[in-house]
Amino acid sequence: MFKKLSNGCVQLVNRFLPDPFIFCIILTVIVFFASLPATGASVIQTVNAWGSGIWDLLEFSMQMALVLVLGSALANAPIVKRIVQSIASIAKTPIQGILVVTGVSVIACWLNWGFGLIIGAILAKEIARQVKGIDYRLLIASAYTGFVVWHAGISGSIPLALATPGEKALLKATGGVVSQAISTSQTIFSPYNLIICAIVLIGLPLINAKMHPAPEDAFVVDPALLKDEQVAVKKAETPAEKLESNPLGSIIIAVAGLIYLGYYFWNSGLNLTLNIVNCIFLVLGLLAHKTPINYVRAITDAAKGTAGIILQFPFYAGIMALMRFNPEGGSSLASVISNFFVSISNHVTFPLFTFLSAGIVNFFVPSGGGQWAVQGPIMMPAGLALNVSPAVTGMAIAWGDAWTNLIQPFWALPALGIAGLSARDIMGYCIIGLVFTGIVVCVGFLVVGLMTMGAVPV
């Protein structure tokens, strides 16, 4: 029964899900026409809002491209390959392969979302090389489903924003209801959040493993096709070639990078921003590849998978701009969605409905920072009015932001670039993960609402 359901989802997605770029265009059209009655703006005003916003994610696009390129280059270094191969060797059967890649991905994404996205896809690719008969599409989908916990982990942008001192910034982001930083002990490390994460860590690998098709139906890739291209390297003869092959250049930059990272962590603690993650990947990549020219070759090869990011991210920036567009005297489309869920909420159901509304908004605003900017000023005051802890409201938004990433190709692009697959290859399996995690989180926040009604601290 379960395999029939998953096979049905896979067939449905394969039949109807277009290329991620076409999907992005469809979302743009939907949000454009939905924003007209919601905002009361004219067509010209709405087009102008879209056009003005499409370049808002240029910095983020470059950061994400570097996550893919630097992470892939590091993973392709011989020493890292041996480590990944050792982890992959734990799996001896297709079921074990799915369990290992899902579990590692969940843990890695909880620690840091950028690292988790890359390491999960790389490990999946290595397991596909080693384990015979494993379904490659499900394997990559399993690696991606671990991403669902990222915003509940230690790199979650919303709980970290709430934990960052700064009265002015906090008041602006929360609609004027939070002025003092909220410790991560009340958000990331709160008992209810850790319990939800633990259930996902245990349950999601089992759900993914249960979906593995029968041997005759498995989508198996020839391991030879997954081997990285070997570049023939000739002996350095000219002064220029000897300079390129001298490890001293890599060592100088790597040492400077290590000094910077040490100084940063000494002053800022374990705050893994996207730039810091990329800096770590850069330093380790230089050291792992030993010589500058080896690193150049690795980066050149890794850059081939960035096309989807370069093309699509500006369009998602335009969608985000339409969702946030708030002409004078009007309301944004995101606020209309959020306010609807507020209107049907009470003290018990507010965390649950906040999660669901965030999941809907995230489908069109697939960025943690963008989601917080859109929903924080709306949901935080509403939660306080219903006597719901700001920490709980913040985590409900965070979980909603991460949840619908499972059926949003935006974040899957780096993993798909590494795997050499398209979104329709994995999204059918991700639907099942979406349903499972949705049930777990909904029950979790409903319990939180009931507990706070009884004045039990959470």
Residues of the chain with pLDDT under 70: 1-3, 223-234, 270-274, 329, 453-458
Residues making up the chain, counted from first to last: 458
Long-range CB contacts (within 8 A, 24+) of 57-60: 57/313, 57/314, 57/316, 57/317, 57/320, 57/367, 58/314, 58/317, 60/313, 60/367
What is the rounded distance in angstroms from the CA atom of residue 457 to the CA atom of residue 316?
Answer: 39
Residue 298: what are its φ and ψ, rounded to 5°?
Answer: -65, -40
What is the rounded distance in angstroms from the CA atom of residue 420 to the CA atom of residue 422?
Answer: 7
DSSP 8-state symbol, 18: -
For the record, the structure tokens of 240 come out as 């220029």
Residue 205: what are its φ and ψ, rounded to 5°?
Answer: -60, -40
Tell me: the pLDDT tens digits for 405-427? 898 777 777 778 777 788 888 88
The pLDDT score that the predictor gives to residue 442 is 96
Q: With beta carbons less than 8 A apart as the criterion, state whether 189 and 177 touch.
A: no
Alpha-helix runs per DSSP H in 215-291:
239-244, 248-268, 274-289
Look over the chain and give the mean of its residue pLDDT values, rounded to a whole number. Answer: 85
The pLDDT score that the predictor gives to residue 456 is 38
What is the rounded distance in angstroms from the CA atom of residue 14 to the CA atom of residue 406?
Answer: 16
What is the rounded distance in angstroms from the CA atom of residue 35 to the CA atom of residue 56?
Answer: 19
Would you list the DSSP string of 438-454?
A: HHHHHHHHHHHHHHHHT
What is the rounded distance in angstroms from the CA atom of residue 388 to the CA atom of residue 381?
Answer: 10
Q: With beta carbons less than 8 A apart as the criterion, state whether 313 and 408 touch.
A: no
Q: Which amino acid is at 140?
A: I
Tell me: the pLDDT tens digits for 70-93? 877 887 788 888 888 899 999 999
Residue 56: what are its φ and ψ, rounded to 5°?
Answer: -70, -15
For the record, the structure tokens of 198 come out as 């633990």
For the record, the structure tokens of 168 come out as 């002015």
Contacts of 445 (CB under 8 A, 6+ apart): 351, 352, 354, 355, 392, 396, 399
Which of 309, 300, 318, 313 lies closest to 413, judged by CA? 309
Residue 216: what are its φ and ψ, rounded to 5°?
Answer: -75, -15
The pLDDT score that the predictor gives to residue 457 is 41
The pLDDT score that the predictor gives to residue 122 is 87
Q: CA-based angle 338:340:346, to the nearest 5? A: 95
Which of 443, 447, 455, 421 lies closest to 137, judged by CA? 421
Burial of 251 (0-12, 13-18, 19+ CB in 10 A): middle
Which of 307, 321, 355 lies closest to 49, judged by CA? 321
**Residue 44's CB: how many other CB atoms inside 10 A?**
8
For the record, the structure tokens of 41 come out as 């703006």
Q: Which amino acid is at 80?
A: V
What is the rounded distance in angstroms from the CA atom of residue 25 to the CA atom of residue 12?
Answer: 20
What is the rounded distance in angstroms from the CA atom of residue 98 to the CA atom of residue 226?
Answer: 18
Residue with tokens 């890695």: 108
Secondary element (H or E) of residue 65: helix 58-75
Contacts of 229 (CB under 8 A, 6+ apart): 301
Which of 384, 382, 355, 385 lies closest to 371, judged by CA? 355
Please state at what angle helix 409-419 crosses helix 20-39, rounded to 10 degrees: 170
Q: Which amino acid is at 198?
A: A
The pLDDT score that the predictor gives to residue 287 is 93
